[in-house]
Structure 1
Amino acid sequence: MSENIVRTNFIRQIIDKDLESGKYQSPSDIHTRFPPEPNGYLHIGHAKSICLNFGIAKDYGGRCNLRFDDTNPTKEEIEYVEAIKADVEWLGFKWDDLFYASDYFEKFYEAAIHFIKKGIAYVDDSSAEEIREMRGTLTAPGVESPYRNRTVEENLDLFTRMRAGEFKDGEKVLRAKIDMSSPNMNMRDPALYRIRHESHHQTGDAWCIYPMYDFAHALSDAIEGITHSICTLEFEDHRPLYDWCVENAEMPHAPHQYEFSRLNIEYNVMSKRLLTQLVSSGFVDGWNDPRMPTISGLRRRGCPPEALRLFCERIGVTKSENMIELQQLSQSMRDVLNEKADRRMAVLEPLKVTLTNLNHDEMLTIANHPQDETRGTREINFSNTLYIDKADFQEEANKKYKRLVLDNYVRLRGAYIIKATDVVKDENGDIIEVIAEIVPGSLGKNVEGVKARGVIQWVSAKDAVDITVHNYDVLFTEKNPQGMPGELTDYLNKDSLHITVGKGEPALLDAPIEEAYQFERIGYYARDSKSDKLVFNRVVELKDSFGE
């Protein structure tokens, strides 16, 4: 999809000013990173961050790291590490360096020792609940811990013993000594280390103390030489702590943090915790369920990576929190697929059509893409027994109905004009077969005196293949389910999946997994990756119809 989008935003403007001022000598000095925690699969909000960080590095000729923020072994798994790598690569990006926060555990420990020696960190024996109570509120200052004034020697001894495994989980924490009366709650002696006797997916059992996110994240950026540390707005209040950690660690490089608004999209949730709840409770078919807003779910659904990148470019990067219309994602997929998706024919509710004046089969040549000759052609058998969609025939209809009507004409896509002459009904009076005849000389041509009402798709009954079609709707009934009272599950859409068994042309037997096709006049569909049968997931409709 070629589109002229001006790639500028306030972060790029900051970078430009940094280069103009001489803060950085060359665009190649610009260094970003994408730092996910491997505690779940990435969602579309992460796609926005991926496109932003990797896109900046690419456009400026700089560097972008993929760094796993793996400081909490109780929630992280190697499965998520591998899935995140796959998602980044599928989106079309390649990291310059791959790091783990756990790579720096020894350096973090040394920094913590440095903080203790400077008198700005102490070991606290208070419980988590006691520490929460001592922090105070937004309107009341915190209360200093009774352990806040331990000597440097005592703190060094206790922290060393914490590392050695002498204490149980929760018995002690290392806290920064900053300001218990700060209006910013994050600066009221935040925890820097906690005890976790858990095996780590990278370091095994080498550690039983693990650094907290704010401490590890800031120092990781400094160690890697990140110039612009870009994160979402919920970390804006954490920036003073970020700067405090970098400054007091006395690193040779001091990065700066910048915040942008996270992506919120209608009828979805953008929370790993809530998405994990949907998966663990069995409300969806795993993290890559096509209804999920995960990158792997979109990929299984058949969304092209180009469409996701286009969507992220179109919505832009700002500091304003807003709810993005679902239609914007749908339109990005349509715009890309209209250009790149080959066409195929399918009928979702087959109705038999018998052609009385055709005595032999014909092989018809049909273009794979009507606007792109380079996509080639395919051969389709045209026989005297066809299937059309039930919705494409009526015994009687007004002039607005542009499909097949008894005693009227319609053109079959890429084939002849046919005329319906009779119908066959079952004992209930339902039409089970249409009797018709082809108009001689109408293959790819108009015939004088014959006016077709419209064009419909078809498949030959002799070699049509059975296909199962999954038509997906939104996962939630409310635009902002996270903002609604009650339980999240109260707003699950119980009709978010409709399964139909139809007929498709034989070429669908060779459809690659997750590659989208346009089922003519129906929508865009991609073969499902979790079934060895011909199951096709609807990527997106041909036009937006939600709410009609």
Structure 2
Amino acid sequence: MMEDVSNFLTEIIDEDIAAGLAEQIHTRFPPEPNGYLHIGSAKAIYINWSIAKKYGGKFNLRYDDTNPVKEDTEYVDSIWEDIKWLTGEEPNGGVYYGSDYFEKCYECAVALIQAGKAYVCDLTQEEMRAYRGTLTEPGKDSPCRSRPVEENLRLFQEMREGKYPDGSMTLRAKIDMASPNMNLRDPAIYRIVRAHHHRQGDKWCIYPLYDFAHPIQDALEGITHSLCSIEFENHRPLYEWVVENCPLPHRPKQREFARLNVTNTVMSKRYLRELVETGRVEGWDDPRMPTLCALRRRGYTPAAILEFVRRAGIAKANSLVDIRLLEHCIREELNETALRRMAVTEPLKMVITNYPAHLEETFEVPNNPRDEAAGVRQVPFTRELYIEKSDFAVVPPPKFQRLKPDGEVRLMGSYIVKCNEVVTDANGEVAEVRCTADLDTGNGMPKDGRKVKGTIHWVSAAHAVDADLYLYDNLFTLENTNDVPEGTNYLDYLNPDSLKHLTGCKLEPSVADVPEGTRMQFVRMGYYIKDREPGRYNRIVTLKDGFAKTLQK
């Protein structure tokens, strides 16, 4: 329940409400449309969206499209779909674009110049870095810092008119070159960039920088609490300076939280884009990727992702969250909700020699033993079946409770069978097992009271549906990809076994009837989702959940 959301951010908001500093709470999620949203984005969405819900407030989606070089409508569209999928609704505060405020940002910049608080600077990027100083040494004033107001106004207007080359000038805020906070040492707030903008076209050749544009956008939208990740904490004084010194109708408050870092993956859009563009993954929605569209394709649900974020916690201190917690969350949900189906991933032919070749019957099997309302299905049974190759052993290991020569097992939901003969191929590999069925055990235990411990799944050979199964593992072998050892590259830790593609798998026929996107437990094998590609099923997560014991401890 959103009203139960409680963390240090809600404590801040409670104090602001009690002090009369905020009435209707208004938050926003400001993604840059230069890539697809990922699991880390889900945390920012969850925080801003759930807090707005908790206080009966408003939640905005605002595209931070102030950098035309890397932005694209493809990313705009994907962000919109991901937001709606994750939250189950459209943002109740509205959808906005940072580029819609370009004219107002320009007016604020002019106002700063007129107040003697901004100036046009000719220094190159290299010169600006040299003048900026260090953490222990103050910066030096730019030679342009003392330009008269009238000259700055003229130059800034000419910058807008396109009279100067890209990168030749910037507009800088005049704050304090001796400030211990490097972000306050006369930061650039406008730069010249000639690039086609996905919404504004070629109207602008100067663009505001994020630290300048963002507080203006927040103020114009009536945002009360600008909640962002911890790397912006040192930028907060600049955020507040912009709000205090620009002619704005509202004074939002910025507060920061720790980013979500997950083991065995990367969150950097630059790295994710490189994985896509170099063909190391299928695309942004490759189920091994941490993007929301990839998690959706893999079969993760919004509820599981939001529960993962909630359990990972909202704090100010950075931490590394085990990806097995995410797997545990989806496994908990699917254990209760997923349909049960039988699937044989590595088929081995079984022939029931005492079962008539012309006979076919069906067994009634629950769709989900944990949910009676899910009903039952009819599974066909015939003389020839497929079982898992791993469910038979000529020379079984100790405590092996599956099929072996002269051994018995129960075929799930049907008969007890005994292995009487093993047929091998030219290479000596087991090609077929021949069994007899105790035909009196279809609905219960053997009449003689003997106990059969093993139960295996099966599929009728005559009715089996051919399928490809895609089994996924961590994309990276390195647990903490934020701490790549010196002399190596993050790509050096790509997991060569992150994808296993199984062909020639055999599924029970009812699987063919379920729609795309259906999540199922292939009994004893794992949880899968029916992919958009015909005949393809992606493994969401394995059945085994050793992490649950870790959580209990």
Normalising TM by the smaller chain, what interval? over 0.9
CA shift digits 1:409-467 (9 cap, x unpaired): 21112222222222111222221111112212212311233322222111000010111
Structure-2 separation of matches of 1:463 and 1:406 = 27
In structure 2, the residue matched to 1:465 is 465
- Residue type of the alignment partner of 1:367: P
- Residue type of the alignment partner of 1:178: I
Structure-2 separation of matches of 1:24 and 1:127 = 43
Structure-2 separation of matches of 1:197 and 1:398 = 70
**Is 1:14 equivalent to 2:15 in the alignment?**
no
In structure 2, the residue matched to 1:401 is 400
- Following superposition of structure 1 onto structure 2, how do residues 73-222 of structure 1 map, counting pairs within 5 Å? 73-91=68-86, 92-96=88-92, 97-222=94-219
* Percent of paired sites with the same residue: 51
Give the gaps of 5 or more residues in structure 2: 548-553
In structure 1, the residue matched to 2:512 is 509
**Is 1:424 equivalent to 2:427 in the alignment?**
no
Task: Using structure 1 for the length normalisation, give the TM-score.
Answer: 0.96
Relative to 1, partners in 2 of residues 1:293 and 1:156: Cα closer, same or farther, differing over 3 Å? Answer: same
Task: Using structure 2 for the length normalisation, give the TM-score.
Answer: 0.95
In structure 2, the residue matched to 1:37 is 32
The 3-state SS of whatever aligns with 1:537 is strand
Check conservation: 1:385, 1:461, Cα contact below 8 A: yes
Structure-1 separation of matches of 2:259 and 2:239 = 19
- Residue type of the alignment partner of 1:70: D
Check conservation: 2:111, 2:247, Cα contact below 8 A: no
Structure-1 separation of matches of 2:145 and 2:463 = 80
- Following superposition of structure 1 onto structure 2, how do residues 114-513 of structure 1 map, counting pairs within 5 Å? 114-359=111-356, 360-397=359-396, 400-447=399-446, 448-484=448-484, 485=486, 486-501=488-503, 502-513=505-516
Check conservation: 1:264, 1:324, Cα contact below 8 A: yes
Relative to 1, partners in 2 of residues 1:4 and 1:276: Cα closer, same or farther, differing over 3 Å? Answer: closer
Check conservation: 1:355, 1:438, Cα contact below 8 A: yes
Query: How many Å apart are 1:386 and its aligned residue?
Result: 0.4
- Residue type of the alignment partner of 1:203: Q
Structure-1 separation of matches of 2:142 and 2:166 = 19
Check conservation: 1:301, 1:514, Cα contact below 8 A: no
Structure-1 separation of matches of 2:34 and 2:147 = 36
Structure-2 separation of matches of 1:93 and 1:60 = 17
CA shift digits 1:30-54 (9 cap, x unpaired): 1000000000001100001111111
CA shift digits 1:65-96 (9 cap, x unpaired): 00000000000000000000011111124202
- Residue type of the alignment partner of 1:402: Q
CA shift digits 1:313-369 (9 cap, x unpaired): 111100111110111011011011111211111011100110112211102221111
Structure-2 separation of matches of 1:322 and 1:65 = 27
Query: How many Å apart are 1:18 and its aligned residue?
Result: 1.9
RMSD over aligned Cα atoms: 1.6
The 3-state SS of whatever aligns with 1:328 is helix
Relative to 1, partners in 2 of residues 1:5 and 1:384: Cα closer, same or farther, differing over 3 Å? Answer: farther
Relative to 1, partners in 2 of residues 1:274 and 1:439: Cα closer, same or farther, differing over 3 Å? Answer: same
Check conservation: 2:105, 2:213, Cα contact below 8 A: yes
The 3-state SS of whatever aligns with 1:405 is coil
The 3-state SS of whatever aligns with 2:482 is helix
Query: How many Å apart are 1:399 and its aligned residue?
Result: 6.1
Query: How many Å apart are 1:544 and its aligned residue?
Result: 4.1
Query: How many Å apart are 1:230 and its aligned residue?
Result: 0.5
Structure-2 separation of matches of 1:207 and 1:85 = 25
Query: How many Å apart are 1:4 and its aligned residue?
Result: 12
- Residue type of the alignment partner of 1:160: Q
Query: How many Å apart are 1:5 and its aligned residue?
Result: 11
Check conservation: 2:5, 2:54, Cα contact below 8 A: no
Structure-2 separation of matches of 1:127 and 1:442 = 85
Check conservation: 2:5, 2:51, Cα contact below 8 A: no
Relative to 1, partners in 2 of residues 1:22 and 1:346: Cα closer, same or farther, differing over 3 Å? Answer: same
Structure-2 separation of matches of 1:103 and 1:184 = 30
2:524 to 505, 521, 525: 521
Query: How many Å apart are 1:214 and its aligned residue?
Result: 0.5
Query: How many Å apart are 1:478 and its aligned residue?
Result: 0.5
Check conservation: 1:5, 1:313, Cα contact below 8 A: no
CA shift digits 1:104-155 (9 cap, x unpaired): 1111010000000010000011111111111111111111111111111001
Structure-1 separation of matches of 2:116 and 2:136 = 28
The 3-state SS of whatever aligns with 1:493 is coil
The 3-state SS of whatever aligns with 1:236 is helix
Query: How many Å apart are 1:262 and its aligned residue?
Result: 0.2
- Residue type of the alignment partner of 1:445: G
- Residue type of the alignment partner of 1:20: A
Structure-2 separation of matches of 1:277 and 1:428 = 44
Structure-2 separation of matches of 1:433 and 1:172 = 77
Give the gaps of 5 or more residues in structure 1: none
Query: How many Å apart are 1:528 and its aligned residue?
Result: 2.2
- Residue type of the alignment partner of 1:503: K
CA shift digits 1:185-216 (9 cap, x unpaired): 10000011111111111111111110000111
Check conservation: 1:409, 1:450, Cα contact below 8 A: no
Structure-2 separation of matches of 1:415 and 1:4 = 46
Check conservation: 2:340, 2:368, Cα contact below 8 A: yes
Structure-2 separation of matches of 1:422 and 1:6 = 62
Structure-2 separation of matches of 1:497 and 1:43 = 20
Structure-2 separation of matches of 1:6 and 1:411 = 48
Structure-2 separation of matches of 1:264 and 1:244 = 30
Range with greater deviation from structure 2 (337-346 or 479-488)? 479-488
- Residue type of the alignment partner of 2:7: N
In structure 2, the residue matched to 1:543 is 544
Check conservation: 1:528, 1:537, Cα contact below 8 A: yes
Check conservation: 1:172, 1:195, Cα contact below 8 A: yes
Structure-2 separation of matches of 1:369 and 1:323 = 35
Structure-1 separation of matches of 2:41 and 2:192 = 29
Range with greater deviation from structure 2 (358-367 or 104-113)? 358-367
Query: How many Å apart are 1:473 and its aligned residue?
Result: 1.2
